[in-house]
Every structure is written in C-alpha cells, then in structure tokens.
Amino acid sequence: MKYLEEFQNPELARRLLDDIRATVTRPWALMEVCGGQTHTIIRHGIDQLLPEGVELIHGPGCPVCVTPLEVIDKALEIASRPDVVFCSFGDMLRVPGTDKDLFRVRSEGGDVRVVYSPLDALRIAEQNPDKQVVFFGIGFETTAPPNAMTVYQAKKRGIRNFSLLVSHVRVPPAIEAIMQSPDCRVQGFLAAGHVCSVMGTAEYPELAERFEVPIVVTGFEPLDILEGIRRTVRQLERGEHTVDNAYPRAVREEGNPAAQAMLADVFETTDRAWRGIGTIPQSGWRLSSRYREFDAEHRFDVGDVNTCEPAACRAGEVLQGLLKPHECEAFGTVCTPRNPLGATMVSSEGACAAYYLYRRLGAPAAPAAPLEASPVA
C-alpha cells in the first residue's frame, strides 16, 4: 500500500537509528506533540531503540484527552434531554464525565448516536425536524475544517435544529504554554503533520526562535518518526533552532488556504481550558458571532456545571509530559480501558491507552535488539 509499507521498512529504520546514534553526544529530551505519534512510538518500540539519553516525552496531542471535564459534563447534560439527538464520533462515548459517560446516557434512554462525519449529524437533523440534533465537535486544527463546513452548510440550507458543541483547540499556543512551564524539560518538538497540512508552518518559526527549540514537522509511520528525531537531534547537536518540514508529502508551508478561509469565517479564537492542564490563552476556537445561533452551549443554556476529577487520576501530569503512564499508581489497577479514570486511558490516541495496549505496564524494558525484536516490519 502506497505510503504505508514503504515507511515501515526495517532496513531503512536501522540506518536512521545508526545515524541518530552517530550524531548524539549528550542527552536530549524531545516531545512528540500528537497522540497518534505516541501510539506509533510505543507500538513499534521506537523509544526503546533510541540511544541512551534520547528521551521522548509524550505531549498533550490527543484532542479527546484534553477536552475539559466541564465540556464532557455539558455534553452529558445535553444528551440526556428527551428532545435531543446527540451525535459524536465513537471515541468520545466512553470518556468519563464526573458521574457517567455517553454510553451510560444512552443506556438510560438518551438518543446518542455514533456518526462518521459531522455531515451525518446534519443529515439526521434534516430528517428529524422535530428534534434538536447536536454534534460534539472536538479536535485540533485537523478536524475543525469539516465541522466549520457543516455549520456553514446548516446556515446556508436553513437547518435550524442543528447545533455544534465546540471544544476545538490549537497546537501553537499549547507549545508556548509547555515551554513557559517552570517544570519544562523539552528541548525539541516533533510537530503534528496532519495539523500542519491544514494550517501550514507559519506559526512555528517565532516559537522556535523565542524558545530556542527546533520544531520538526513529522508524520506518523515509524520511518517518519525516526526521521523527525534524526533531524531534531542534528539541530540540537549543532545548536540550531529552526522549523524543518520532514513531512513534505503531506505538508506545504502555506497549508490548505481553502480550509483556513472556512475556519476564519465560522470560528474565532478564544481562551480554552485543557483537561489536566488549565486555561491556555487564545488556544481554541468558538463559533463566531455570525454563527452563534448554532452554538449548543448558547442554545441549551447549560451554563456552569459542577465537576470533580478523580483524585487518583494523574492524567494531567501525563498530558504535560511530567509523568509516564506506568508511573501513575492507578495505571493498570484501578484505571483500565474497561474502567477508566481519565480520557488518556480510553482515547484511541491516549498515552495511557498506548502503554496499556502494548503492555508497557511497569518499568521500561531493556532496549530491544535493532528491529529484529521490534514489530516495525
């Protein structure tokens, strides 16, 4: 399959690892921003194949994981109403709120439906004019354009019983917040290629220059990750800090202008709370005044809700890169995918889910032999 098997080639991976080993002369700590990259790293044992001293820190790049508990509880309250059809992607249904999740709401009689596109939810609204249909719009810059297009279509076609519960966040302000933290150990970033395919790379040079960290735009296959690490380490060893696009097959400097225009029309930037992290200024989007009537929070007036995070859950520290999942006392015991305490254990891109799924249940294992023992191939 094009651009899949080619980027899992063991011999090429071995060469990249050899180059990284030959380049490294001191310890370095790199952060992969995206949860999809985290799963690739843990699945293929990339972190265990790297030279000693090169550490990968898992970033807050899972949109499900950083959706605030308050927004989850608002979704649960809206979904419980008898006149509402609540639509979501499947990965949100098991994310725990304060007292329940969307699966529990559905078992109690709520009309909660899994859809594969926000346009599916718009179609449901068109077919059920006597119901209020809400789509749970979460994600980074990657999923924001189709959600924006759906709201645009709802207004254009006069479908007034559709609304969007918005929890969109942006990557560059998160990088800035991470670098400003007094506990930050990150010396370089592997930026998320799918985000940059939409937004381009224009927001990153200023961050790289101000915080003196290299930012390398990286894909999601094993060779993508290794090439991103190789380029980042090379910059660090040379004392450089620039933006480097290691994912040119998908990312252009200007990004996708049509998608950006749709975002600028439908959304406006706002401060956003990140679960386990706190509020980051101008780190998210909300519907602009031209489309405010389609905002589910305004339509249903859910207001403030009382939230309570489980005391044993340390997902916030995991999301900030301060803690590896297996270092949490609850990991794999009272917190499992079947009975999760936090979103990082149930999301398909969550770091805790990756560690549990690929059996990283305790202290790090000894480094694997170069790729023969690794499932890269």
pLDDT tens for each residue of 218-270: 999 999 999 999 999 999 999 999 999 999 999 999 999 999 999 999 999 99
Alpha helix (H) residue ranges in 267-331: 296-300, 315-319
Cα–Cα distance for residue pair 130/8, rounded to 1 Å:
50
- pLDDT tens per residue across span 154-177: 999 999 999 999 999 999 999 999
- pLDDT tens per residue across span 3-38: 667 777 889 999 999 999 999 999 999 999 999 999
- pTM for the model: 0.90
Report the candidate in 34, 28, 105, 24 with the shortest Cα–Cα distance to residue 65.
34
DSSP secondary structure, 45-107, as one string: THHHHSPTTEEEEEEEE-HHHHS-HHHHHHHHHHHTSTTEEEEE-GGGTT---SS--HHHHHH
